[in-house]
Amino acid sequence: MFNNKTILITGGTGSFGHKFIPMTLEKYNPKKIIVFSRDEMKQWEMAKLFPNDDRLRFFIGDVRDRDRLYRALDGVDYVVHAAATKIVPTAEYNPFECIKTNVNGAMNLIDACIDKKVKGCVALSTDKASSPVNLYGASKLASDKLFVSGNAYAGGHETHFSVVRYGNVMGSRGSVIPFFMSIRDQGKLPITDERMTRFMISLEQGVELVWHAFEDMIGGEIYVKKIPSMKVTDLARVVAPEAELEMVGVRPGEKLHEQMIGFEDAPYTYEYPEHFKILPAINDWHKDPRRIKDGVKVAENFVYSSDNNAEWMTDSELQAWLEQNAQSIGRI
């Protein structure tokens, strides 16, 4: 799909971009991958990782800047939208800034993709967009709705939009595993609630889900990867077996459990061997055989959350992952 094509990734110097770019360069032979982001230092650091690959280009810009997006999308075939304000407490205390990036930025990108005749755009979402209780989740739910309805908004244009949704990315910057590892020598780890659970997905799985979305989408689908769960107390015990667990209470806007599909979405959700797909409620697209394909309708009261998951990660599986990824945890 990406052979000899030009791909632009917004927020491309983040954790996802650091994994998407080398995996895509290796698996496919794109004409060009454009990293669109606003931090020149992160771009400079990333460029040093690919010193002899002229397929990688860098473009300073912000999704809030509509004109800059139009310039960046000249000649682009596919877009991965990874740019977001995503730290929950940061969004709670800086709500206007969160909306400018996550909602206004999505609107700018949708307009630019349509007008520049981009073939396809896949936006990254989060478990927090399902039944949101914090501003970050609410802004990403709005973003998801924008990208889904963007397929109708495009009118007769050929641009297609879809969304991929996943939970806690193992080892990514700012996530729980590198945080616990950074303070485990202190002998005490803060746990917000002993009941808390999280989904566990690797960056590699996240990239593969985006690839699948581009290959499978008609437009408007939300893809949800089937992944295991783990209790945060068990995760802490594997990362720091000798540390004391200190219960500190739930942070503003924080959920006890991650949810990726709520029962309100069940009427539009289909199951596949390795993922679920939430189809659009608008325009009866959820009845479209081209979008359903070989999917099986989920139960009427279906909910996919980290506490009711059928698959759980064991201590030994997490330990093996930690050993295998020791050099990259928290660095990308």
Q: Catalytic residue at 128?
A: yes
Residue 192 CA, chain-centre distance (Å), reads 23
CA angle 26, 30, 35 (to 5 degrees): 90
Q: What is the CA radius of gyration of the chain?
A: 20
Query: Residue 138's Cα: distance from chain center in Å?
Result: 15
For residue 90, the one-letter residue type is T
Write down the catalytic residue from 128, 226, 255, 277: 128
For residue 293, is it left (φ>0), alpha (ψ between -120 and 50) or beta? left
Residues in contact with 208: Cβ distance below 8 Å, sequence separation at least 6, in sequence order: none
C-beta separation of 143 from 104 below 8 A: no
8, 76 contact by CB (below 8 A): yes
Catalytic residues: 128
